[in-house]
Amino acid sequence: MKKAEVAILGASGYTGAELVRLLVTHPGMRIAALSADRKAGMSMGEVFPHLGHLDLPPLQRVEDIDFSGIELVFVALPHGTTQEVIAALPRHVKIVDLSADFRLRDPEDYARWYGHPHLAPELQKEAVYGLPEFYREQLRACRLAAGTGCFVATGLLPLVPLLEAGVIAREDIVIDAKTGITGAGRGASERKLFSEVTEGVDAYNIARHRHTAEFDQELSRAAGAPVRVTFTPHLLPMNRGILATIYVKGDAREIHRVLDERHRPEPFVHVLPLGAEAPQTRHVRGSNLCRIGVTADRIEGRAIIVSVLDNLVKGASGQAVQAANLMLGLPETTGLEAAPLFP
Amino acid sequence: MKKAEVAILGASGYTGAELVRLLVTHPGMRIAALSADRKAGMSMGEVFPHLGHLDLPPLQRVEDIDFSGIELVFVALPHGTTQEVIAALPRHVKIVDLSADFRLRDPEDYARWYGHPHLAPELQKEAVYGLPEFYREQLRACRLAAGTGCFVATGLLPLVPLLEAGVIAREDIVIDAKTGITGAGRGASERKLFSEVTEGVDAYNIARHRHTAEFDQELSRAAGAPVRVTFTPHLLPMNRGILATIYVKGDAREIHRVLDERHRPEPFVHVLPLGAEAPQTRHVRGSNLCRIGVTADRIEGRAIIVSVLDNLVKGASGQAVQAANLMLGLPETTGLEAAPLFP
Amino acid sequence: MKKAEVAILGASGYTGAELVRLLVTHPGMRIAALSADRKAGMSMGEVFPHLGHLDLPPLQRVEDIDFSGIELVFVALPHGTTQEVIAALPRHVKIVDLSADFRLRDPEDYARWYGHPHLAPELQKEAVYGLPEFYREQLRACRLAAGTGCFVATGLLPLVPLLEAGVIAREDIVIDAKTGITGAGRGASERKLFSEVTEGVDAYNIARHRHTAEFDQELSRAAGAPVRVTFTPHLLPMNRGILATIYVKGDAREIHRVLDERHRPEPFVHVLPLGAEAPQTRHVRGSNLCRIGVTADRIEGRAIIVSVLDNLVKGASGQAVQAANLMLGLPETTGLEAAPLFP
Amino acid sequence: MKKAEVAILGASGYTGAELVRLLVTHPGMRIAALSADRKAGMSMGEVFPHLGHLDLPPLQRVEDIDFSGIELVFVALPHGTTQEVIAALPRHVKIVDLSADFRLRDPEDYARWYGHPHLAPELQKEAVYGLPEFYREQLRACRLAAGTGCFVATGLLPLVPLLEAGVIAREDIVIDAKTGITGAGRGASERKLFSEVTEGVDAYNIARHRHTAEFDQELSRAAGAPVRVTFTPHLLPMNRGILATIYVKGDAREIHRVLDERHRPEPFVHVLPLGAEAPQTRHVRGSNLCRIGVTADRIEGRAIIVSVLDNLVKGASGQAVQAANLMLGLPETTGLEAAPLFP
């Protein structure tokens, strides 16, 4: 397999490091450049000692990267800083963006939820929402993929097929999500200290988490009518993993049948048997898998869906590699077959 | 303060040890006897080294305990074994039971959820449901208090006042509960190993957890009409704490007002300001406190309530001591004033 | 018991919050003032929600505190900032300092290990090293107590009696210490993030941790001759607790006999039987206890000593309250009798 | 690459599952059979849901496996049960044993440390100690490899070269080891419950852990003279990883030079620069790497060595695959190149 040269912008964050982890054994891509503005000049091993044994390019500033031989760029920069960086990239490079900057199709939605006008509205028009299970063909053909929010990926994989099939009520969808801390990145803050996170749980950003806008957009599209969900994220004392417990109105058997049929061909989505023991985040750690379970509530006409994935893999960097595989014409699962790390 | 002599049956489990912790500095009770059938003959320090420095009675078999001077007995035995033990206790002793054996008023409910007929239906009639916030006067007068399920205490403290006041819909109540592992006790099982619990989360007993029956009973009573909730427990990598995220239909402002008024006189229930940052389990660890927060959903007419407590204290042993204080005519907060242990 | 009025300077850190936790149920002291320079004007509940239900004085700047009625001040400020603050306190107040600023008797030692000259060398002369087990009488009479390093307390409690008795070699003492993260305080840094601490262990400041200077000082004093130890601290994914594994040359039986005799009258130091299962940090959490175990190595003439305590209690705030009890003429154990929180 | 057919005996334990994880993407081996006596008839997905998406052979009893096409067998059975199972295998299969059953060359050593006579002393004679870094050539030629103890691998990788080179004293070697819980396997016991392991640390089997015998054997061989170490294992609240802090007498610069030269050609052993920040277990998680750091003590002539690896990979299943690669004539690193999973 001839390897495509790729760059990672924002390599000093967790999703950047995870991209490196996934790409160093990827048979179809080669890391040709790494950027990290404030850590330019350092090696990846200085920033991430777990990668210290690898032969990797040094960290550079974006403007010092020679993009001439580079086919595809992963952009793992913070939300809000990405639009201008991507707008300045040469037209020959394909882009997979992991930030929130190109996820919302309507620039007014973006402005409302992110508090400032979109800085690259023209580029937004060509962006494809980056979830391969629902945008596979568009991704094969696109130049710019916008990777999804990690919570949103966890919720959409079960909910989109159900709303498309019309087997659940559009109202009364409650998404109670539990996440590990790595989704919040590596920046230092009191809130994320071990001493403040271990041995406890809390809900945060109740009724106002930004991923809500993405849910609205994609679920309304699937339903062909406006859908607004109740979404509550919780922070748990763990590194990786999101578990979404989703409360819906509909027949559990129908729900399970639709999900099972829709996802059976998917290499990374596994629907467990109806009523089976619910999936655990522990069982997808480090892998690109999403596992989904369906249980009938004791109250007639209601069901509980549990969906799990690793926020750094299927929720971010693995999803990005999957999209990149499509954009580069590689088999979709290339470099993503590793089994979960358990325990 | 003259100290009442008390016994703890089932002292070798976590709730038993927690009773000891709370009682060794309690100015109104003295531990006169401890039982643990399979560990009879051992000292508490051998079973629980953290209590090894204390001067405590040895572990005995129940039948070897001399109850003549004992005023009150805490029963911390496993579910199902308790009815016969309590039925055999001398009539002069008061009893606070921490098991599920006397929580359900209707013996048929008990048989349906626990899989065998109730073995002491006459005693059941005199049992008072052990949550002081709602059964304070009955507890002062009773002989047998039935401590609540830990999940149930977490949910009832916010939901009972709301259903009594009629400010939330009786239908569409979703209780998404997250618990630490100590609620499952000290018995060895693969499921509870560190290696199977750390760094992850899972939902279990979806739509069929036994605490559901207690919710039905107490919430229907509060509403004056049948109430059936959707209840999903989740296991988290932490020792202590339950956080219940409760989705209801009603006006958040009204909901907050009712809770704030109702619980303001309560020494152990604290309702946070409307829309404040949600309470964390970390902030009640080791204490008898329950903290409750209310947030309006972005969807009109819906609210999210977060309720937290320490399952071993307010959810079990602390609640039991609180009930015992009432039954013995002591000030209700005696021995329960310790502040939470954070971090 | 008439309550002495006390103040806590630096109440917004973990040791400050822990002092509050210990003092709110202390029958002999009342918190009359709290300081926190950068958080002046906030309530303790805003800074530490777990204390939000308590009736506490607001956080003030030190210079705004009225010390006229205050008998004793706990100083929980960062290392290096404390000398000038204490020098400026009115002479009538007694002081228990929890920082490193007055621990080293020789100002040159201080300058060498802390990188700047001592700013209050006159005060240093009256400071008493704050470990009650070895400085009880001096503490009763002193004005200024210098609380020990948390690692040092863990190591001195076993080592001082052994060096005094001459039953171990002064050379070849290796102290391999394992600590929870709270010892590093609440300041935000990448190093202390949950994601960087959980699920792993590392050694840090090998051969150059500042507590080494305290070990040198106190162990040399005990031995009556220079003692230099090899000391390596390790960071573990836990909040509270230090476990020191100490490798010494000497007869295990003699070692155990000396420790057992010396510490038998001590209310907070428990020496386990020779060869018993080693003490765990879990078994002292939240308490003022130190537990010590002794085991003979399989190599003749060598022994392994394991010493555990809770770094925030016996290693800091509990030790400080114990010293304050002595300085105020109260029974030494007042307010410190709570049993450990397990699990 | 033509794939060799392999079997895993004892696939229902953690090292068995880890072998599956490593082998499903291994280009040179194919899992042809899996055994698990008590779980025979179940699928791997039922026993380990994280492997539930893979197409794997069902679990069988050993006696039901057809070994005719199988080239190599990994034996991941409990200590003590393995000798007879291996003795009964057909002579054409090569064997990598992960238990302790063939590690000690002297059957009397085995009997002394394991409490019963060796059951296959003839086989013992042909067993090669399974650490490729020191037994590479013998492994290429052998039929039976005996994988090392996980603590022992962590200690030997630094200590063997140093004793061979004579740059450290043979006496006064102290190995203070810290391990995650997975080394203790998946069997249920109170000792290994989450509630008993989280948020704490303890030392166990002080001066009598069985791995001591392996240290004696291999270190004495390296030194050409008897070496007896002081070895203390500690249990930490983490799943994977061992960190050994090793106290030796010798010149740190010499020590570092010897290790650096010896391990520079090794693909899986990385010696950090002298005095660099010590390696962390977090930085090798899930990988076959061992990282080693050397620091001079402040006491002249002493050094502190820190060695880390993942007990389930380089300490067990990864080491076994590495040995199997050699035995099958494959490149040694095949299937083992995955980077560590961090965070």
3-class DSSP assignment, residue A30: strand
Interface probe, candidates D53, D289, D311, D336, chain A, greatest A C-beta count within 10 A: D53
The nearest CA of chain C is from the CA of B49 a distance in Å of 6
The per-residue pLDDT of chain C, averaged, comes to 97
| Dihedral angle computed from the Cα positions of residues D28, D325, D54 and D288, in that order, rounded to the nearest 10 degrees | -130
Q: How far apart are CA D285 and CA D243, in angstroms?
A: 12
Contacts of D190 in chain C (CB under 8 A): none
Contacts of A180 in chain B (CB under 8 A): 199
The nearest CA of chain D is from the CA of A294 a distance in Å of 16
| CB spacing of D240 vs A343 below 8 angstroms | yes
Residue D1 has pLDDT above 80, yes or no: no
B335 with B26: CB under 8 angstroms? yes
**Residues in chain C, overall count:** 343
Q: Is any Cβ of chain C less than 8 angstroms from the Cβ of D234?
A: yes
3-class DSSP assignment, residue A161: helix
| CB spacing of A199 vs B304 below 8 angstroms | no
CATH architecture of D4-148+314-327: 3-Layer(aba) Sandwich (3.40)
Q: Is any Cβ of chain D less than 8 angstroms from the Cβ of B238?
A: yes
B80 band by pLDDT with thresholds 50, 70 and 90? confident
DSSP string of D239-308?
SS-EEEEEEEEB-HHHHHHHHHHHHTT-SSEEEPPTTPPPP-GGGTTTSS-EEEEEEE-SSTTEEEEEEE
Q: Model confidence over A243-297: pLDDT tens digits?
A: 999 999 999 999 999 999 999 999 999 999 999 999 999 999 999 999 999 999 9
3-state secondary structure chain B: CCCEEEEEECCCCHHHHHHHHHHCCCCCEEEEEEECHHHCCCCHHHHCHHHCCCCCCCEECHHHCCCCCCCEEEECCCCCCHHHHHHCCCCCCEEEECCCCCCCCCHHHHHHHHCCCCCCHHHHHHEEECCHHHHHHHHHHCCEEECCCHHHHHHHHHHHHHHHHCCECCCCCEEEEEECHHHHCCCCCHHHEHHHHCCCCEECCCCCCCHHHHHHHHHHHHHCCCCCCEEEEEECCCCCCEEEEEEEEECHHHHHHHHHHHHCCCCCEEECCCCCCCCCHHHCCCCCCEEEEEEECCCCCEEEEEEEECCCHHHHHHHHHHHHHHHCCCCCCCCCCCCCCCC
Residues 108-127 of C with CB under 8 A from D: none
Picking from C253, C250, C294, the residue whose alpha carbon sits closest to that of residue C272 is C294
Residue A80 has pLDDT above 90, yes or no: no
Q: Model confidence over B251-263: pLDDT tens digits?
A: 999 999 999 999 9
Q: Given this model, what pLDDT does residue D81 score?
A: 86
User: Which residue on chain B is closest to C281 by alpha carbon?
Assistant: B50
Residue C219 has pLDDT above 80, yes or no: yes
| CB spacing of A297 vs B241 below 8 angstroms | no
C1 band by pLDDT with thresholds 50, 70 and 90? confident
C80 band by pLDDT with thresholds 50, 70 and 90? confident
Contacts of A232 in chain B (CB under 8 A): 245, 304
Complex ipTM, two decimals? Answer: 0.97
Q: How far apart are CA A268 and CA C231, in angstroms?
A: 49
Q: Which of C182, C188, C194 sits opposite A197 (nearest CB)?
A: C194
State the catalytic residues of D.
150
Contacts of D42 in chain B (CB under 8 A): none
The nearest CA of chain D is from the CA of B307 a distance in Å of 23
C316 with C310: CB under 8 angstroms? no
Q: What is the mean pLDDT of residues A5-24?
A: 98
Note the CATH number of domain D150-310: 3.30.360.10
Pairing label, strands D59-60, D29-35: parallel
Interface probe, candidates C176, C238, C284, chain D, greatest D C-beta count within 10 A: C176
The nearest CA of chain C is from the CA of D5 a distance in Å of 35
Burial (0-12, 13-18, 19+ Cβ within 10 Å), C104: buried
| CB spacing of C298 vs D204 below 8 angstroms | no
The nearest CA of chain D is from the CA of B193 a distance in Å of 4
CA A68 to chain centre: 28
A120 with A86: CB under 8 angstroms? yes
Q: Is any Cβ of chain A less than 8 angstroms from the Cβ of B220?
A: no
What percent of chain B is modeled with pLDDT above 90? 98
Q: Model confidence over D253-300: pLDDT tens digits?
A: 999 999 999 999 999 999 999 999 999 999 999 999 999 999 999 999
Q: How far apart are CA B74 and CA B318, in angstroms?
A: 11
The per-residue pLDDT of chain B, averaged, comes to 97
Q: Given this model, what pLDDT does residue D50 score?
A: 98
B147 with B18: CB under 8 angstroms? no
Q: Which of D199, D339, D342 sits opposite A54 (nearest CB)?
A: D339
Q: How far apart are CA D311 and CA C140, in angstroms?
A: 51
Contacts of C186 in chain A (CB under 8 A): 190, 193, 195
Q: Model confidence over C184-214: pLDDT tens digits?
A: 999 999 999 999 999 999 999 999 999 999 9
Q: What is the mean pLDDT of residues D50-55?
A: 97
User: What separation in angstroms does the CA of D96 have from each of D71, D183, D214?
Assistant: 11, 18, 17
Binning chain D into helix, strand and coil, the percentages to the nearest 5 are: 35, 20, 45
Q: Given this model, what pLDDT does residue D79 score?
A: 86
Contacts of B337 in chain C (CB under 8 A): 24-25
In the CATH scheme, what is the homologous superfamily, with its name and number, of domain B4-147+314-327? NAD(P)-binding Rossmann-like Domain (3.40.50.720)
Picking from C302, C201, C293, the residue whose alpha carbon sits closest to that of residue C256 is C293
CATH architecture of C150-311: 2-Layer Sandwich (3.30)
Maximal CA-CA distance, chain C:
61
Q: How far apart are CA A62 and CA B299, in angstroms?
A: 42
Residue D70 has pLDDT above 90, yes or no: yes
**How many CB atoms sit inside 10 A of residue B59's CB?**
23
Structural domain spans, chain A: 4-148+314-327, 150-310
Residue B210 has pLDDT above 90, yes or no: yes
